[in-house]
Amino acid sequence: MSSQTNKPLVLVTGGSGFVAVHCLLVLLNTSSYRLRTTTRSSSKASSVKSQLKVGGANDADIEAIDFVEADLTEDEGWDRAAADCSFVLHVASPFPPKAPKHEDELIIPAREGTLRVLRAAKRAGTVKRIVLTSSVAAVGYGHSDVSRPFTEEDWSNVDAGIPAYPKSKTLAERAAWNFIEQEGEGMELSVVNPVGIYGPLFASESYSTSIELVLRLMNGSIPGLPDIGFGVVDVRDVADLHLRAMTDPKAKGERFIAVAGDNEAMTVQEIAMVLKERLGSKASKVPTLVVPNFVVKMLGFFDPTVRMIIPDLGKRRVSSNRKAKEVLGWQPRGVADSVVATAESLEQLGMLKT
């Protein structure tokens, strides 16, 4: 018991989320930490436990996790969540399936929620380092030139009329850096900026917009493919990068883009072709035809999820992973394997139409 209590305590916020569950798994696999996680409702604790079990964690480790009910929009619970922690992985963040009616529906919870966690960490007095899950959306939007690779030196331009989600991620991350600089009192911050996240998911109610693309492709609910290219990364590698950012002294005060291929974009058509080539008859409903941009724009009038991608039509956003690899020794897996793992887990969860 004493050896267990001597281990550093790590808080992972938003424990039922796609990335957070994989962060918990990575931390469990090290056997070096005690774990605490937050959920918006105590009823979500059972989902986290079942997801961890599907992910290969043993019952004893799962039962040892401390669950705290806390919502990013409320103060209650956060002091209890941060108490005695050495590290905080702030993973929880809203990622909507459709654009909000007003951007503040995303911006305010993202920014204020981040500050709420940072303030609780400061009050705890024991937190050494916080790792914030931001996004490449805080890096590569609002720039006239999207042909060059984006790096950690870049920031999205919030004054350029960018969509609500990238604006929310940018303002939330900026707020975090400002807080650490002005009020951090010795706490350290590292930031992970993932691109589109794929890979195995363990629950049908916990998936991102990126996963929904594969789900729609496999179920044939997309009549054609939009002309879009973006970076891809595996959720297991995102979790691994969080661990490296938490533990490596060189990660202090740094941002790290999480993207599998260096300066590479994967088009929706390439994702579709990977599914058909690797999964054969199981991917028989996957379309392969790229539809004209004007057709996608028309569909956006009727489908709010489609509406979110319209600003990216015809674009290939690429980012560099050189910093994460050179500074932290990060080695991401290939994008095709991540896409296939996504589809296979959707099948195992019974989410694909027969």
- The answer to pTM > 0.75 is yes
CATH 3.40.50.720 is held by the domain 7-199+233-260+319-333: yes
Phi, psi of 281 (to 5 degrees): -65, -25
Of 107, 78, 110, nearest in space to 93 by CA = 110
Domain boundaries, the chain: 7-199+233-260+319-333
CA distance 158 to 138: 9
Q: What is the largest CA-CA distance in the chain?
A: 64
Answer yes or no: are the C-beta atoms of 321 and 241 closer than 8 Å.
no
What are the tokens at 247?
């533990």
Report the chain's C-alpha Rg in angstroms.
20
Which of 4-8, 82-86, 107-111, 316-320 is predicted least confidently? 4-8
b or e along 265-300 (b: 16 or more beta carbons within 10 Å of the residue's beta carbon)?
bbbbbbbbbbbbeebeeebebbbeebbeeeebeebb
Q: Average model confidence (pLDDT) for the chain?
A: 92
- In angstroms, rounded to a whole number, what is the distance separating the alpha carbons of residues 166 and 150? 15
Contact 75, 51 (CB under 8 A): no
Contact in structure between 260 and 321 (CB atoms under 8 Å): yes
Q: Apex CA 48: angle with CA 44 and CA 50, to 5°?
A: 115
| pLDDT tens, position by position, 93-103 | 765 555 667 78
Mean pLDDT of the region 314-320:
88
More confident call, 157 vs 144: 157
CB 271 within 8 A of CB 214: yes
Q: What would the DSSP string read from start to end of 133-172?
A: E--GGGTSSS-S--SSPB-TT----TTS---HHHHHHHHH
- Residue 234, Cβ neighbours under 10 Å: how many? 25
Could you give the CA distance from residue 346 to residue 348 in angstroms, rounded to a whole number? Answer: 5
**Residue 50 CB partners (closer than 8 Å, separation 6+):** 202, 203
What is the amino acid identity at position 5? Answer: T
How confident is residue 82, by pLDDT bands cut at 50, 70 and 90? Answer: very high
Rounded to an integer, the average pLDDT of 158-174 is 93
pLDDT given at position 100:
66
Give the per-residue pLDDT at 106.
84
87-90 and 9-12 beta bridge pairing: parallel
Confidence of residue 1 (pLDDT cuts 50, 70, 90): very low
- The string of pLDDT tens digits covering residues 239-285 is 999 999 999 999 999 999 999 988 888 999 999 999 999 999 999 99
